[in-house]
């Protein structure tokens, strides 16, 4: 999401913000152009345009004489639509640039294209995507307090232990295979999938929100997943007394 400083910039009229700042905030050129074009021009009810469509469909006859209002929320929405359709390899390169800008090494994690595929549907900007990807390219310092309180507790310990063993025994490491292993654990322990998957998600990413559990496991990788589950189990053991258990 857009942070406070960026939100303040977007609250101003677009002319007050340098074009390069939009790039740093993670906006795609096509998304920004699409939004600016639609400020004073229309083509029926169509909202999203490719670069080719912008070139071929734009005409002066449909330019409005009324003053346009800059809407930061609409700009984010338009950019999000372009994130869904932009070529994966292009987004991967841009994601790598944002990760590097944020102090991370893109080589210290999954292929960038794989991260794009998992995160593009959850992101409004490339910088937003990069921030969500942090846990796949470096260790996080601590669990989100609310997420840990809700999901890392003695009652979820058995599920985490069973999942860790199932993942250790897994032959092929892929999102599909890992997700199937988690589902098998839930069936075996007669638990709802969420009761197993949510504590695992917190263990893997530090928070309760992430892509699907199979994608998350694939992005984290087997070795990191094992270490992070162990860390979550230690957290449960350490905090059990404080929780009155």
> Do residues 174 and 218 make contact, with C-beta atoms less than 8 angstroms apart?
yes
Q: What is the pLDDT of residue 77?
A: 96
The residue whose two tokens read 């404080």 is: 242
Phi then psi for residue 18, to 5 deg, are -60, 140
> Do residues 86 and 65 make contact, with C-beta atoms less than 8 angstroms apart?
no
Domains of the chain, earliest start first:
4-137 (1.10.1160.10), 145-239 (1.10.10.350)
Which structure tokens are listed for 213?
Answer: 């559990």
Active site residue 146: no
Spatial CA neighbour of 165 closest among 218, 220, 225: 225
> Do residues 205 and 199 make contact, with C-beta atoms less than 8 angstroms apart?
no
Handedness of CA 172, 176, 178, 181 (dihedral sign): negative
| pLDDT means over runs of 10, the chain (245 residues) | 54 60 94 88 81 82 73 94 96 97 96 97 96 96 96 97 97 95 98 97 96 97 97 93 49
The structure's pTM equals 0.84
Q: What is the pLDDT of residue 63?
A: 73
Q: What is the pLDDT of residue 51?
A: 87
Set 9, 12, 55, 146: catalytic member: 12
């Amino acid at each position: 999401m857009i942070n406070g400083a960026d939100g303040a910039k977007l609250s101003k009229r677009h002319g007050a913000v340098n074009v390069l700042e939009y790039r740093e905030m993670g906006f795609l050129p096509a998304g920004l152009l699409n939004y600016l074009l639609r400020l004073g021009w229309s083509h029926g009810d169509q909202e999203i345009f490719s670069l080719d469509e912008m070139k071929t469909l734009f005409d002066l006859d449909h330019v409005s004489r009324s003053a346009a209002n800059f809407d930061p929320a609409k700009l984010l929405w338009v950019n999000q639509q372009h994130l869904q359709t932009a070529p994966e390899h292009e987004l991967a390169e841009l994601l790598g640039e944002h990760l590097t800008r944020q102090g991370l090494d893109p080589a210290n994690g999954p292929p960038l294209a794989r991260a794009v595929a998992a995160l593009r549907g959850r992101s409004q900007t490339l910088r937003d995507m990069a921030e969500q990807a942090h846990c796949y390219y470096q260790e996080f310092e601590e669990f989100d307090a609310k997420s840990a309180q809700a999901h890392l507790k003695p009652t979820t310990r058995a599920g985490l232990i069973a999942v860790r063993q199932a993942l250790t025994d897994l032959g092929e490491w892929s999102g599909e295979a890992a997700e199937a292993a988690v589902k098998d654990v839930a069936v075996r322990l007669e638990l709802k999938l969420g009761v197993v998957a949510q504590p695992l998600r917190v263990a893997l990413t530090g928070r309760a929100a992430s892509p699907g559990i199979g994608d998350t496991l694939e992005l984290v990788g087997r070795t990191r997943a094992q270490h992070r589950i162990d860390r979550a189990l230690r957290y449960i053991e350490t905090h059990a007394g404080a929780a009155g258990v």
